[in-house]
Structures are given as structure tokens and as C-alpha cells.
Amino acid sequence: MIRLPSQWLCRQRSSFKKPNFSTSPILFTLKKNKMDCLTYQDMFEHNKAAFLAAVSAVKPANLIESSVQINGSILTVKGNDFQLKQPCHVIGFGKAVLEMALTMERKLGDYMKQCVISVPVGTKKAHSIPSNTKVEILEGAANNLPDKEAEENTRKILKIVEDLKEDDTLLVLISGGGSALLSLPVHPLTLEEKLQVIKQLANAGADILQLNCVRKSLSAVKGGQLAAAAQPATIISLILSDVIGDPVDFIASGPTAPNKDNPAAAWDIICKFQLQNSIPQSAEVCLRSNYSRANSNLKDKEVNNILIGNNLVAITAAMNKLISLNYSVCFLSPSIQGNVTRIAVFYSQLASRICRFLASSKCNLFEGLEEAYLLSIEARNEIEKTVCNSSHTRGICLIAGGETTVRVTGTGKGGRNQELALRFAEESKKISTGCEYANQFSISLLSAGTDGIDGPTNAAGAFGYAEQLDGNEDYIKYLEDSDTNTFYSKLNAGKNLILTGHTGTNVMDIHIVTICKK
């Protein structure tokens, strides 16, 4: 059983800025390798089991159960005590808050006065909901985009918090997807205009920090404004992070966190993506005037933003599952981000170097590796150790978390995980063509979103490997059309898709690179 040291993230980050690794020596000796021979089907099954273990570890019920205790009128959240003067008001928004709310209701009992949550369309149908629950479940934001329903639901939630008094306690349940589910355009912007800006930015490849910085400037509730409206009540937010580094002011666009963005940042992002002439005039006015920011003077000490789970918890569970399946496992990074094609190149180059090393012991694993800055010194040492200790195992798994970005170039159906899997297959095929080790080792990538929904598709992600492309040369067209979901749905009758449906949780994506003997 492994536990990732809690300081891992910090060490990762501090060594992030020192990309001087090109002379990294192999510190460990490769023993004669007697890895098992596996089929792609075996690899897929094992990877999928690890992914499901990861999702299960971040189930909101488990996280709330271990983070929240109530003892008389004292509410304790992750070791912080709060005296309840009267029963709490609970609100929530995000893909994971239904389970959070139902567990909270069980915990609080009579100490919960009311609970209203905004969740994705289809959530009620996908869950069994106790008939006697007090939790009012409002659905909206089909396809993870704000709509009339989400706006209406946000108004209801805002009304609750605006009526709170000093003796009230407000519990705010927050998870990824909250930006679309708690959405109220700032005056005079309309929902359609706001949607247009967000879609344009997302399709241009903006990352979540850029998107949410702009969202805060276009919103009447994000960037601390919801908490400002709830004052003078005591505000306690329980946050499940789906953003790299867990910045509470960006998760769901930080409705209960002070907005610390530079006042010019949102407009700068619009300019960076050269959208200044194509966004609606009213959006430009909001972005330049920074009205939404002036609307909230929230201070850090006026709110209690408490993190209850993140991607690292999920990765740890996946690693433990793979170890129990007798793989030699290595943790690469909790913060993989960047363009999907570049990340595909990075994973396939790294995997092929490991194959070459296993075949001949003669190569420096990291020299000349593109995007090598993604690996900290610790990760490099771990990779070397893992490779050298892989004898008598089923194979090697490198595991990482994060979120890539995609430039959508066509009108097809896809998502960043399915695109990463297909681009990995493409890169691996290019690299392995003509290599003598290619017929000794199989390499694959599972990439899937822990929320179970990758982009606007019904898949969480996919499992990619070079041989998938044999006889399917038209895969290039699918990539050009941003149609990777259609590609994987047709391939092997959809057997390489990861299909879970909405998982009820959301802590970004999991990537598993696997290297096995053929």
C-alpha cells in the first residue's frame, strides 16, 4: 500500500523551474527482465480497474464522511470547529454535489435547515434519491454550458444567501462544473452573449485558469460575489478540487473566494486569443469596467474555504490498484497540462525510450525528451527505479493527473481524453515504425476524466495504442474533424472507450501509460 507524501505537490512545483535534467544518469541497474506477456485487452482491463479505483476513492460520500463531524452543536470540518447557533443553510453547485449534499444531510440531521443544489441535467435519473430528503435538486447546464435553467437555479440560490443574518451558518458545497451551474451574467450582459465568449475561448484552447478569470469578470456571483451576498453569515465552503494546484479562487470560478486577479487580466486573455473583435460589445464593456470585481470586497478571513479532496487522492488509489495487480508503478505528476498533441508526444516518447532501455539498457531516458520539463527530479528518479525494478512484474505503469487543452478544429464529437488517446496512438506508431523493440513491447495510454464525461460525449475517455491505427488510416480525418468519439465508437465496436456515465465526482483526468512485453 503506498501513500503519496503530502509534500509531493510542493516538491513537484519547486523543482518545476529547474529544467536542467538532460544529463540525468541511470542510477539503478536493470536486472534481466522477466515481465509477463500481456495482450492489449489485458492491459485495458487492468488500466480500467485502476481508473475505477481512482474514481471510487474520490466519491463525495467518502470524502464528506471523513472530513465532517458533528458533535452537539459543534460542526468540525477537517479539524476546524464551528459553533452552530442555529440549523445550517446548505447550498451547492457542481457535478459532485448531489452526493455531498445527501451525505451532509445524513450527518447534520436536524442541524440542516434547508439545502438547495444546482447539478447537471440527468443527475436525478442517474442516482437513487431517498424519498424523504430535504435536499432540493435543481438541474441545468446541459453539456456543461450555462443555460436558462442554470441561470434560474442560480437566482434561487442567490435569494437564499441574500436573506441570511449574522447568526446563520451557510455551508457551500463546491465541485468542478460549478462555473456552468452557478451562472448569472453581470448586467447588461445576456446569457447568450456570455456563452458566446466562453465557447470562443474554450475552442481557441484557453485553459481553465484563463477561462475562469474571464468568467469571474462576466458574472454576478463568481469571484467572491456569492459569499459577499451571504454576509454577515458564517460561510464555510467544502471544496472538491478539479483544478491543478487546488486554487480555491479558480475552482468553479471561486464564488466564495476573494478575486485576486489582476484587474486587466481578463481583457488581456481575450486579446491573447485575438478575440477582441469577435466578442459582443457588452462583454467588452464588462471586461474592461471590472464591475464584477468592484462588487465584492471579500477578505480571506471572512470565509472558510476548506479543501476536502483532489486529483492526488484519486491517483494514489489507482497506483495501489496497479501495484495489487503486480505492476511496477511510478507517479509522474499531478499537474500535467498543456496542448493535447504535445502531451501525446511526451508520453509516447517517454514510453518508447523505456522500451529501448528495457531492450538494450543503452539510452539516457530523458535526454532530448520533448516536454521533459513536465518531470521533476523526483519523478525522473522514480521512473528509473520503476523501470529497473520491473522484472517479474506484469509491466510498467506511469501514472499522472491533470488536464490537457484542445483546439477544436472541426464539428465532430470528441473530448480532450479521447483526443489524447488517439494522438498517443498516432505518435507511438510514428516512433515505433522500424524500431527493433516495437515487436517486443506493447505501449498504451488510458486517458479518462474522473467525472465520466469527456467533452460533450457519453464516454469518460479512451485507451489508445499504435496498432489501433492499422487498417484505419482515416484516423487523421477524425482528428482533423475533432471527431475522436466517433473514431473510438466505431473501433472494435467501442471496446476501447471508457464508459462509466456520470460518476458523481470530478477531480480532473487520469493518465496511465503502460509498457508490457508482447
Ligand X SMILES: O=C(O)[C@H](O)CO
- Would you count residue 212 as binding ligand X (CB under 6 A)? yes
Cβ 341 to ligand ATP shortest distance, Å: 12
Q: Which is nearer to ligand ATP, 280 or 412 (CB)?
A: 412
Cβ 197 to ligand ATP shortest distance, Å: 14
Q: Which of 176, 148, 264 is nearest to 214 (CA)?
A: 264
Q: Which is nearer to ligand ATP, 413 or 429 (CB)?
A: 413
Cβ 204 to ligand X shortest distance, Å: 17
Binding mask 172-211 for ligand X (x = CB under 6 A): ----xxxx----------------------------x---
Q: Which three cell numbers stand for residue 222?
A: 463568481
User: What is the DSSP code (8-state) at residue 279?
Assistant: S
Binding partner of 464, given ligand ATP, ligand X, none, CB within 5-8 angstroms per partner class: none
Our CA angle for 416, 418, 421, nearest 5°, is 105
Q: Which is nearer to ligand ATP, 242 or 384 (CB)?
A: 242
d(CA 353, CA 369): 9
Residues 6+ apart with CB under 8 A from 319: 2, 4, 50, 329, 331, 397, 399
One of 217, 231, 237, 253 touching ligand X (CB under 6 A): 253
d(CA 427, CA 466): 8
d(CA 286, CA 299): 23
φ, ψ (nearest 5 deg) of residue 52: -65, -35
Q: Which is nearer to ligand X, 177 or 452 (CB)?
A: 177
| In contact, 512 and 333? CB cutoff 8 Å | no
- Would you count residue 243 as binding ligand X (CB under 6 A)? yes
Q: Which is nearer to ligand X, 242 or 426 (CB)?
A: 242
Cβ 208 to ligand X shortest distance, Å: 5
Q: What is the DSSP string of 325-363?
A: TT-EEEEEEEEEEEEHHHHHHHHHHHHHHHHHHHHHS-S
Provide the terminal-to-terminal Cα distance of the chain, rounded to the nearest Å: 28
Cβ 14 to ligand ATP shortest distance, Å: 26
One of 102, 119, 235, 252 touching ligand X (CB under 6 A): 252
- Would you count residue 120 as binding ligand X (CB under 6 A)? no
- Residues in contact with ligand ATP by CB under 6 A are 95, 144, 176-177, 179, 202, 242, 406, 408, 412-416, 419, 449, 451, 453-456, 482, 506
Q: Which of 419, 435, 463, 417 is nearest to 352 (CA)?
A: 435
Q: Which is nearer to ligand X, 251 or 351 (CB)?
A: 251
Our CA angle for 312, 98, 115, nearest 5°, is 125
- Would you count residue 242 as binding ligand X (CB under 6 A)? yes
Binding partner of 404, given ligand ATP, ligand X, none, CB within 5-8 angstroms per partner class: none
Cβ 112 to ligand X shortest distance, Å: 25
Cβ 89 to ligand X shortest distance, Å: 22
Q: Which is nearer to ligand ATP, 49 or 145 (CB)?
A: 145
Q: Which is nearer to ligand X, 154 or 496 (CB)?
A: 154
Helix (H, G, I), strand (E, B) or coil at 170: strand
d(CA 421, CA 414): 11
Q: Which residues bind ligand X (CB under 6 A)?
A: 176-179, 208, 212, 242-243, 251-253
